[in-house]
Amino acid sequence: MNYDQFIIRDPAILGGQPVIKGTRVTLRTVLACLANGDSIEQIVAAFPTLKPEAVRAVVAFAAASAQEDLPLPRVA
């Protein structure tokens, strides 16, 4: 997934924290909601400026970041 179309990091918005484009909803907020067990539908209902594909983009971004930061050992 091309998450670049959904995520932006701008020093003028929330001190440069990554947010969903066009909103002030941080990736950290969306990930915390997911970690608490909220569904995509619940997150979109709580933050009406979000679309389901933006939430999925946050997951894709987090997965790519984790892969870069925390490489997993290969299973032999």
For the chain, the structural domain boundaries read 3-69
Its pTM surpasses 0.85: no
DSSP state of 70: S
Q: What is the topology classification, in CATH, of domain 3-69? A: Arc Repressor Mutant, subunit A (1.10.10)
Which two structure tokens, joined as six digits, stand for 73? 């050992």
Q: pLDDT tens digits for the chain (76 residues)?
A: 788 899 999 999 999 999 999 999 999 999 999 999 999 999 999 999 999 999 999 999 998 887 765 555 666 5
Contact status, residue 27 vs residue 19, Cβ threshold 8 Å: yes
Which two structure tokens, joined as six digits, stand for 10? 């701008």
- Residue 50: other Cβ atoms inside 10 A: 21
